[in-house]
Amino acid sequence: MLSTLLASDVVAPFSSPKIDYHALAPELVLAGVIVAVLLADLFLEESKKWVLSTIAGFGLLAAFIPIVTLAVSGHRARSMFGGAYVVDTYSLLVKGIFLLAGYVVVLLSQNYLEEGDYYQGEYYFLLLSSILGMVMMGSSRDLVTIFVSLEFLSIPAYMLAAWRKRDLKSNEAGTKYYLLGVFASAVMLYGMSLLYGDTGTTILKGIGAKLQNGSMSPVAVLGIVFVIIGFAFKVSAVPFHNWAPDTYQGAPTPITAFLSVASKAAGFVALINLIYVAFPHGGDVFQPMIGVMAASTMTLGNVMALRQTNIVRMLAYSSISQGGFILMPLAVAGGKSSGNALTAIVTYLAVYAATNLGLFAVIIAVSRKTRSGEVSSWGGLFSYAPLLGVLATAFLASLAGIPPLGGWVAKFGAFRAVITSGTNWGYALAIVGAVNSVIAFGYYGSLMREIWMKPVPDGDTAPIRTPSSLNAALMICGGATLALGVVPGIILRFSDIIKL
């Protein structure tokens, strides 16, 4: 048996696949930058390590250039490797989000690492590798490619979460993230093997052609369920969310920002790829599942966040709850509001990235002075750091969905998607979401209250000095949050035309 298999492999002639270098340029540039960072780290003296962050930052921006050229090149879709890797408008958009979010994370990390005396070269190497994995995920249209991208982005992230290795909490963060992440990967792989077994192909499009509502084998149903559960871990959807609060609290703050924004977005991108390409006719299976998950994710995340006294932990639960909002449109994907749902998710991811990264930038800036992560440490922030106070308020208001900040566009899109589905499920989900957006204000409001209405702890009103890289991150995120809210057209003109 084995010998015949081997024999047939030998006989089949190997033809090298046609490679579209333009389409792969972002990944290639990024790979080059990763190697450059690794090599430069070997030859740089300790005092000159700051160069690494500059290389990483500019490298990410350089990788953005081919994205722009690809976008204006006019080709709707470039398919490679037998349909396993596709560069289309959708993938370009999410790649752009990943690269820009990555750039902001580099800005956040710069002073944090220099002052904390951490291993800079390895840090940026791992960070960039993880981003490369995410960029690949945007184009993955094959079970194997998806899995490779997922591991590519996850494994560096496990190590980054445990980066403060002398801190027990950070160790716990990394270990917990690693163990649960691997467990999720295993469940997902099992699901993928079932799907492959049932349909005989790993190409998502091929799977999509075989899976039809009503005529699915139990094996395929189980496969879909397992694959979705695997990614539910990644996006920390309830009930697979328990790793998130501990990991977020223990990891270095820039990495927490990275995990809660980019890594989560990558999980959603994978879910979109699977649901839109492989299971478009499997709505009977995934719609109820994701609907229930979305409702419970936003509710539980919110309720837990209300009780937190540590800011990062509160934001961990907030990010879980925001994940529920992003899942909401996916619950109606496959129906008549499929296109709206895709627009909604991608818009949400972009807005959420700008807002949440900005909020983490404020947290990093404030904790430089207070050395504390408690909510009460933000008391009277506005009185001694007015700009940070106003920016933090803007980010919180955006997360709460208050116009004219970006958050409302995101929430609006999500509501639009579920309501246009015209099903009772959709309306019910919209009402759950509406009630949740009010509950969420309970804790976003409590942070605002600290900033504006509470006294400064210990009367220490010394101003906060923010390094220029952090300032740049704050300005980018603040500007993007406001711009996306006032002129939503800048993201909608892209997210409205994408198709899968």
CB-wise, 200 or 455, nearer to other proteins?
455
Cβ of residue 97: shortest distance to other proteins, in angstroms?
A: 19
Which DSSP state fits 261? I
Shortest Cβ 482–other proteins spacing (Å): 12
Measured from the CB atom, is 236 or 398 closer to other proteins?
398
Distance CA 494, CA 246 (A): 36
Is cis: bond before 386, omega within 30 of 0? no
Q: How far is the CB of 411 from other proteins (least distance, A)?
A: 8
- The span from the CA of 315 to the CA of 360, in Å, is 9
Binders in 446-465 for other proteins, by CB under 8 A: 448-449, 452-453
CA 264, CA 251: separation in Å to the nearest integer? 15
Residues in contact with other proteins, shown as a per-residue x/- string from 412 to 441 under the rule CB under 8 A: x--xx--xx-x----x--xx--xx-xx--x
168 near other proteins, judged by CB under 8 A: no
Cβ-based neighbours of 301, under 8 Å, separated by 6 or more: 238, 241, 317, 318, 319, 320, 321, 322, 323, 324
CB 101 within 8 A of CB 261: yes
* Minimum CB distance to other proteins, residue 286 (Å): 23
Closest approach of other proteins to the CB of residue 446, in Å? 8
Of 263-322, binders to other proteins (CB under 8 A) are: none
Q: Is 86 helix (H, G, I), strand (E, B) or coil?
A: strand
Distances (CA, A) of 263 to 130, 133, 308, 349, 353: 8, 10, 23, 11, 11
From 442, 455, 463, 479, residue interacting with other proteins (rule: CB under 8 A): 442
Please tell me whether residue 496 binds other proteins under the rule CB under 8 A. Answer: yes
| Greatest extent of the chain over all pairs of C-alpha atoms, in Å | 80
User: Per rule CB under 8 A, is residue 445 in the interface with other proteins?
Assistant: yes
Helices 218-234 and 283-306 meet at what angle, rounded to 10? Answer: 30
- For other proteins, give the closer residue by CB, 116 or 489: 489
Q: Per the structure block, which two tokens stand in for 21?
A: 């270098």
403 scored as a contact of other proteins (CB under 8 A): yes
Least separation in angstroms between CB 437 and other proteins: 6
Q: Using the minimum distance from each CB to other proteins, give the nearer residue, 119 or 412.
A: 412
Cβ closest to other proteins, residue 146 vs residue 397? 397
The single residue among 397, 399, 473, 498 that binds other proteins, judged by CB under 8 A, is 397
CA distance 232 to 254: 23
CB 451 within 8 A of CB 464: no
Q: Is there binding between residue 481 and other proteins (CB under 8 A)? A: no
Q: Is 488 in the site for other proteins (CB under 8 A)?
A: yes
Residues that bind other proteins (CB under 8 A): 382-383, 390, 397, 402-404, 408, 412, 415-416, 419-420, 422, 427, 430-431, 434-435, 437-438, 441-442, 445, 448-449, 452-453, 488-489, 492-493, 496
